[in-house]
Structure 1
């Protein structure tokens, strides 16, 4: 437990820095590293991925609150869009947790690997969302937000890589899209975390210090430093060539995907 806690502190520091620097959630780094840590500590093979996802999602509650407050102070959060997307996101997040609970660890791992590779390719090629011409209908908002919540909850991420392109496509300025996506990460994380805690409360072979599928030593170890390093990463984003660094970060995502394939 001590080893994982200390490793999680380092992971939280790096994950927070990367999230602030590149504007994406730390889940892309946190989930695969936790999976490797849990495997090394002898956790049940059928629990490794779902515990990694659940623990990552729980940490996003706190990092999302910090991010939303920062964006709100800059008047970048469009609360009417959050209210429009919120119901679908919460329903999707609940459904995502239920689906993850019914998937084998191997299938969940493959889904995460595919997502990692997709985001890695997007960052390596510097692909950016293109503005569209129309405004979304209420039906489209509900359907799209439901998918965002489901996928994010299933993978243990904040959903920014899904939400931002959707918002930009419908002519929202990037500054506001990032702020709204950060705010949308909060209901995803809250609903998903509650789901994973309840679904895992009677699971067999859970290690000590587990709260449902959430492993508390890792949760605490990640949250504490990430709340300090995320703002540092955001400041560095204005000083460093972030676009160039994204290509290097994409290599890290490819390495993480390879590790998950062969761990």
Structure 2
């Protein structure tokens, strides 16, 4: 019983961060499960997805309530991410666990560097309209879906910075679209990991309960913070995750 309460509390903390950054909480849940519970990379990713899937669905609904997500933009992202996340997850479950962890740390560092660079680069003002037509959203969905399936994070962390810097959306709009991308990709990735016995349901389910109780607070905070502050916090979040997992290599 005490273990379940601890898992729920951890899930609540992760869910708040997931809502704040529009990523479902999986990006920090994976290093937390690896460091705190000693799970190998595939098992950590699969277990984190049990929490991520309902968190993403709830966060998507909350974002849509506050800032309507355009279906014409969300649909190509979602469909392509679904197909390529499935392919990426099949690839992931067959890889060596240590190599997967090393790759995941590199993935986090690359994301952090890219987001730091974006803070200092001059960019065009954000617009309500995308700079590129919808077929390019399919390309983004394919790439982000592959990364999400491979690393079990849904692809939102890849899509969000690209949507703001390349497609010209605001941070909040980008996070909403990224959640639309992540919803189908996290679901198909969880199914694949589950079929290959890379999920600890006893840990994942209470994490999911905690996440569902708290993710709305994170979404509310995301809409209240200045955009630059949100980006700086996201960069720091990525670096902390990379350092946590780096100690486990």
| TM-score (normalizing by structure 1) | 0.78
Structure 1's 60 and 83: CA in aligned 2 closer, same or farther, altered over 3 A?
A: same
Return the alpha-carbon distance in structure 1 between the equivalents of residues 215 and 205 of structure 2: 16
Choose from 29, 43, 50 the match for 1:51. 43
Aligned residues: 242
Choose from 127, 142, 148 the match for 1:146. 142
Structure 2: where are the runs of 5+ without partners? none
Runs of 4+, deviation exceeding 4 Å: 122-126, 128-134, 238-252
Return the alpha-carbon distance in structure 2 between the equivalents of residues 35 and 84 of structure 1: 33
Counterparts of residues 81-230 of structure 1 (less than 5 Å): 81-123=73-115, 127=119, 130=123, 134-136=131-133, 138=135, 140-168=136-164, 169-198=166-195, 200=196, 212-230=197-215
Q: Secondary structure at the match of 1:157?
A: coil
Kept after mapping to 2: 8 A contact 1:152/1:188: yes
Kept after mapping to 2: 8 A contact 1:22/1:242: no
Kept after mapping to 2: 8 A contact 1:12/1:222: yes
Return the alpha-carbon distance in structure 1 between the equivalents of residues 230 and 81 of structure 2: 31
Kept after mapping to 1: 8 A contact 2:155/2:182: yes
How far 1:241 moved relative to its partner?
6.5
Structure 1: where are the runs of 5+ without partners? 201-211
How far 1:166 moved relative to its partner?
3.3
- CA RMSD between the two structures: 2.9
Return the alpha-carbon distance in structure 2 between the equivalents of residues 135 and 252 of structure 1: 29
Q: Which is greater in Rg?
A: 1
Q: Secondary structure at the match of 1:110?
A: helix
How far 1:97 moved relative to its partner?
0.9
Kept after mapping to 2: 8 A contact 1:14/1:229: yes
